Amino acid sequence: MKIGAPRVVVITGGSAGLGRALALCYCAPGITLGLVGRNIERLESVASACRARGAEVVVGCLDVRDSASVQDWMLNFDSQYPIDLLIANAGVASTLSSQDDWEGVEKTSEVVDTNLYGALHTVLPAIERMRTRHAGQIAVVSSLAALRGMAISPAYCASKAALVAYCDSVRPILAQDRIGMSIVMPGFVRTAMSDVFPGNKPFMWSAEKAALHIKKRLAQGRVEIAFPFTLALGIKLLRLLPVAVADLILGRLSYLPRRMM
């Protein structure tokens, strides 16, 4: 089902990487963008680039883990500019550098609080307002890593898998209020986050290519946007194999931390 072109778009994690590429993809005359991020200098840089293309831009220098601040900003923004499309994109990565490394409570909490709760802090206020209007679209950026846990990034995989479960759960409810809910599952996208990933990065896309793909699929009303196709298919097939076999394959692909020599 095709979706009408959004005029008001909010993007979290909009100061860099995929979020920046999405902002530049959606900006145009007559478009209002709400860009949320933690780094005000980078946010203003993206905002300036979007304004140069004719968009109106409102920035929110926020940490998505701060539920009260995010809710206040979202509701205030929506009161002035009713949101057509929310892209909950903010996230952080975490990888184990070796078999001797470990994600303790502090690191695990940071990843889960940002990737899972940060997304929910953003999505829930938007849902509240969209349900009163019986209109709107929400896209939550997860990862292909959500489809199968990898030893190299336990907290990241768990947080992204939880987003998939949440979106699958609420999608039928929101559909009754004519609100679209999409889960976006990118593979490797060339960003600062992927630059520090120590494993193999097959079929990597540029951030610009990924943003254009997401925009096109959201306009088509797709509920699951998983790419690139070859990698997404491979991971889905991996889930059909015996667990021990899948673990062995992932280990051979450098997704198993090695003991330091």
Query: pLDDT value at position 246?
Result: 87
* Residue 137 C-beta-side C-alpha neighbours within 13 Å: 25
Q: Is residue 158 part of a domain?
A: yes
Q: Could you list the residue range(s) of the whole structural domain that residue 105 is in?
A: 8-252
**Contact of 243 with 148, CB cutoff 8 Å:** no
- Catalytic residue, chosen from 26, 117, 156, 255, is 156
Percent of the chain with pLDDT over 90: 82
Query: pLDDT value at position 29?
Result: 98
Q: Cα separations (Å) of 183 from 50, 100, 144, 177?
A: 25, 34, 11, 18
Whether pTM exceeds 0.75: yes
Q: Is residue 235 part of a domain?
A: yes
156 is catalytic: yes
Q: Is residue 64 part of a domain?
A: yes
What one-character-per-residue DSSP string does 44-63 give? Answer: HHHHHHHHHTT-EEEEEE--
Query: Left (φ > 0), alpha (ψ -120 to 50) or beta: where does 30 sit?
Result: left
Query: pLDDT value at position 1?
Result: 58
Domain of 170, CATH number, reads 3.40.50.720
The pLDDT tens digits for 74-109 are: 999 999 999 999 999 999 998 887 777 789 999 999
Q: Is residue 103 part of a domain?
A: yes
**Contact of 22 with 89, CB cutoff 8 Å:** yes
Q: Is residue 176 part of a domain?
A: yes
Q: Is residue 1 part of a domain?
A: no
The pLDDT tens digits for 12-61 are: 999 999 999 999 999 999 999 999 999 999 999 999 999 999 999 999 99
Share the mean pLDDT of the chain.
Answer: 93
Domain count, the chain: 1
* Cα(230)–Cα(68) distance, integer angstroms: 40
